[in-house]
Amino acid sequence: MTDNLKHYFAPMAWVSGAWAKDVLLRVADDGTWASIEANASVDQRRQATLLTGPVLPGLVNAHSHAFQRAIAGMTERADGGPDNFWSWRDRMYSAAQRITPQQLEAIAALLYAELLRAGYTQVCEFHYLHNDIDGTPYANPLEMSCALVRAAQRVGIGITLLPTLYMRSGFAATGLRDDQQRFKSTPASIFKVCEGIEKQFGRGLVNTGLALHSLRAVGQGALQEAAACAKTRNMPIHIHMAEQTGEVADCIATLGQRPVEWLLNHASLDASWNLVHATHTTPAELEGVKCSGASIVLCPTTEANLGDGVFDLPTYAKMQGNWSLGSDSHVTRSWQEELRLLEYSQRFALRQRNVVAAASNQTSTAAALFNAALSGGSTACGQHMDGLAAGNRADFSVVDTTSPALLGVPNDHVLDAMIFSSPDARLSEVYVAGKPVVQVGRVENWQCLDDDFSNAMRVLWV
């Protein structure tokens, strides 16, 4: 080889939605894929770095509230009354009101390291802790945003920061409750955060987008103003949508339409839009989302943990609708568990097997799930990250085939076993932009990350 590119050789790699054999992967100086070549010759293999297992492209975690990693396992006790999303939210607020910038950075850094170890290489951070604990603006309006970006840079994951517009406590409210003052923002303040982050951290592994918390938190005028500005900047737009039946009922009572129905009629949806959850939608609404080019972000373990309900994935998959995967409240940090639960929730509801494969007219349920999450993730983060292909960022993971879940599994069933045989198959290495960030299953300085996180948790939960 006469070029100066980094060369890796994989015995098998996930290329164009299926396993390819003897794959030569070339990384350009800018951290993107220069080329991907299957059936590489013996001479090509000798001059490349040998990767010890099957290679998967890095996945985008399309929905994260990093601070909620601090409450994983802390909201699972009943207090004697009915327990639902709204009572969980009150408990979540108790943590949101106390976290400092230093604690947020420590919590996010460990979380992001966990995501990397799982094979997520980009995280879309839906960020609404803008102000100080008492609700007053920080002297530096970027204080909490910078904590998140520093956490991502500390471990090497890519981050799409989504500063969140949050202006009122409910559909009919004119402002925020006392316990929501940390979230207070305006379209102007949101885009100042975006501009400040891009100026301070450049582009590279950091980019920004717009989050609109929800229809109950943002009125029509502000929503349209912010979305129009985001589109002039070619930003991804994210919004919580139809997660709870109570939210749907309130929307109908106040706006006269269901949430997704209202958005389709008033927001000029296009491919920049990402509707988070969309759990309670009709087939007509799903058809509208599909036709608009917008995507849906599914967060199966959080939707299960909060008792949200089951998304109508068979209908949406038959339409070939776009969707991505998020871990939201981070009750798990494993994409394998997210996809497993996504399929299993359909099996529970329908009493059928391989539901997504059938709806997608494919043979492998694992392939149908993984390929959809991979494609949708690229849209969610606004980056070229939809697989091992020239021009995409050179993110990938190496599967540890000594994982108990994979022992003796034929090569063409590796992905099936990774998703549907637990405990999760491990990853031995993870690369972001062609550089190793996880080696021998570990992130660099893990002990320091562990100590900082533990110290933050002791203060929060004393």
| Active-site residue (options: 63, 238, 277, 330) | 277
| C-alpha separations of 223 from 125, 218, 250, 313 in Å | 19, 6, 18, 27
Whole-angstrom distance, CA of residue 394 vs CA of residue 5: 12
Question: Please, what is the Cα angle at 59 between 213 and 389, to 5 degrees?
Answer: 125
- 328 flagged as catalytic: yes
Residues 6+ apart with CB under 8 A from 410: none
| Active-site residue (options: 308, 312, 328, 452) | 328
Whole-angstrom distance, CA of residue 30 vs CA of residue 203: 12
| C-alpha separations of 462 from 55, 96, 160, 452, 459 in Å | 43, 15, 32, 15, 6
22: left (phi over 0), alpha (psi -120 to 50) or beta: left
| C-alpha separations of 394 from 6, 57, 398, 418, 436 in Å | 11, 8, 13, 22, 11
Pairing of strands 33-37, 55-57: unpaired
Q: Judge residue 286's burial from the number of C-beta atoms within 10 Å of its C-beta, 0-12 exposed, 13-18 middle, 19 or more buried.
A: buried
Residue 166 tokens, joined: 């949050």
Whole-angstrom distance, CA of residue 126 vs CA of residue 56: 26
Residue 148 tokens, joined: 């998140």
Residues 6+ apart with CB under 8 A from 256: none
Closest CA to 147 of 184, 192, 201: 201
- CB neighbour burial string for 428-444, b if at least 16 within 10 angstroms, e if fewer: bbbbbbbeebbeeeebe
Find out whether 176 and 397 touch, Cβ atoms under 8 Å.
Answer: no
Residues identified as active-site: 277, 328
